[in-house]
Amino acid sequence: MTSARQLPLSRLGHLVPPLVDNAALVALVAVTNDPPWAAKAAWDIARIAARDGRRVALVDLCLENPALHEMVGLHATEGIVDAFEYGVSLNKAAHEVTGVFIIPAGSETANPAQVYAHPRWPKLQAGFRSEGALLLALLPLTGLAQFSAAPDGALVLAPEGVGPEFGLPHDVPLLGVVRDRWLPSGPRVAAPAMTVAVADERRPGLRLALAALVVAALAVGGWALLARARESLVAPPAPPPAPTTSTTSTNLHQPPPRPVAVPHDTLGWTIQLAAYASLDKALAHADRLAADAGVPALVTPVAQSGNGPVWYRVLAGSYATRSAAGSARADLWHRGIASEGVGDLLLAPYSYHAPAGASLDTLRRRGLPAVRWSNGVILLGAFEAPEQAAYTQTALKRAGVRANLLPRMGKP
């Protein structure tokens, strides 16, 4: 193998887009004994590819040791195995999470090779290409060797790199090796040669909106889900308007749904880092940011329209200006707290202030997204406008807690 391009995690935000811009199907080949690491790398790549509005689907084909669903905060659910082996609708198996369509591995299968060699993969690839969308397939090296489609390229996920003897099957173009950190290329100091360990990474990807119509004859029905308004790169979409409120792009300085008077000294700008389907996971992430990184974080429930699920955004810090929030995000990247390219800037100045004497543990036991702020006050959520706080307001009433919705201020 010729010297492969090294793609350190800290620089994926700059390096990944040009590698996948013209591709319809890219294999993310896990070559590691650390499935969660590979899952996190795949998740970062998918969000980076989707941040400028491109429709991206991430499929978990690490069928023996899937880890992606836990990484993105999904409970065990139906996935690609159920779609291919049991006829489950891909719409049902797919989940839109922070701007990326995720299909998990799903049920266990006794025949992984049949899933890899399924005849629908080339059809899906053709549909994605016709729509200018991107399908990312997270799979082990053995899965790539059995894959029925010919990927436009492959990114190898290997935290310590790969040795010079490493090669991909079927002459799939090697776009680069995603690793923990950069090493000089030159005479290659052998990054510990990896036994081709079958790393796992899971979750199948989703079909594109119009592709369901254009490629309907290919029997890929159900992928039209991709036509829906996408979620934020790190959180579910705010209430309408759908296209302009998508936070998938890093261009997140849109005004709130309607003009709201905000005091000049408000600390309303914040950084969206993640979104979870589980409140406990979102609070755990916020607690880690505060304890390990010294960055106070808020958790905001956002109910999707209709009877859709509630997603819990994790919002780091509180800043007076967008510029200050951008500088803080760059610092998070530099310190390795967030991968480069991850984190959207959002103006969300309103938070519920819990009454004096309220217990953090008691509020959390009642299902409320309570966090202890840096000044000792307990806050619940951060909202772009008061109407966005309706779900939290209902939860507070149900819990019998009286809290005030106020701007986060720089002065008492």
**Calpha distance 218→75 (Å, rounded):** 30
Secondary structure (DSSP) of 250-315: S---PPPSS-----TTB--EEEEEEEES-HHHHHHHHHHHHHHS---EEEEEEEPSTTPPEEEEEE
What is the mean pLDDT of the segment spanning 199-226?
38
Q: Which residue reads 């090779």 in tokens?
A: 113
Please give the CATH superfamily to which domain 6-227 belongs. P-loop containing nucleotide triphosphate hydrolases (3.40.50.300)
Nearest to 343 by CA among 274, 255, 284: 274
Tell me, what's the pLDDT at 158? 92
For the stretch 12-57, pLDDT in tens is: 888 899 999 889 999 999 999 988 899 999 999 999 998 878 889 9
State the pTM of this model.
Answer: 0.51
**Calpha distance 331→319 (Å, rounded):** 14
User: What is the residue extent of each domain of the chain?
Assistant: 6-227, 242-407
For the stretch 89-118, pLDDT in tens is: 777 788 888 788 999 999 888 899 999 999
* Pairing outcome for strands 100-103 and 56-60: parallel
**Calpha distance 314→274 (Å, rounded):** 5
Alpha helices by DSSP H, listed for 107-251, are: 112-116, 120-131, 141-146, 211-214, 242-245
What is the mean pLDDT of the segment spanning 272-287?
89
Tell me, what's the pLDDT at 256? 40
Nearest to 56 by CA among 340, 248, 294, 338: 248
**Calpha distance 137→45 (Å, rounded):** 11
What is the gyration radius of the CA atoms in the chain, in angstroms?
Answer: 22
Compute, in degrees rounded to 10, the torsion defined by CA atoms 336, 338, 340, 341. 180
Q: What percent of the chain has pLDDT over 70?
A: 76
365 Cβ contact list (under 8 Å, min separation 6): none
Tell me, what's the pLDDT at 294? 86
Tell me, what's the pLDDT at 407? 84
For the stretch 142-180, pLDDT in tens is: 999 999 999 999 999 998 888 888 889 888 999 999 988
Tell me, what's the pLDDT at 308? 65
Please give the CATH superfamily to which domain 242-407 belongs. Sporulation related repeat (3.30.70.1070)
The reply to whether 6-227 and 242-407 are identical in fold is no
What six digits make up the tokens of 137?
A: 């397939």
Nearest to 238 by CA among 325, 297, 303: 303
Tell me, what's the pLDDT at 121? 94
Tell me, what's the pLDDT at 165? 84
Mean pLDDT, the chain, integer: 77
What is the mean pLDDT of the segment spanning 211-226?
39
Nearest to 257 by CA among 270, 271, 244: 244
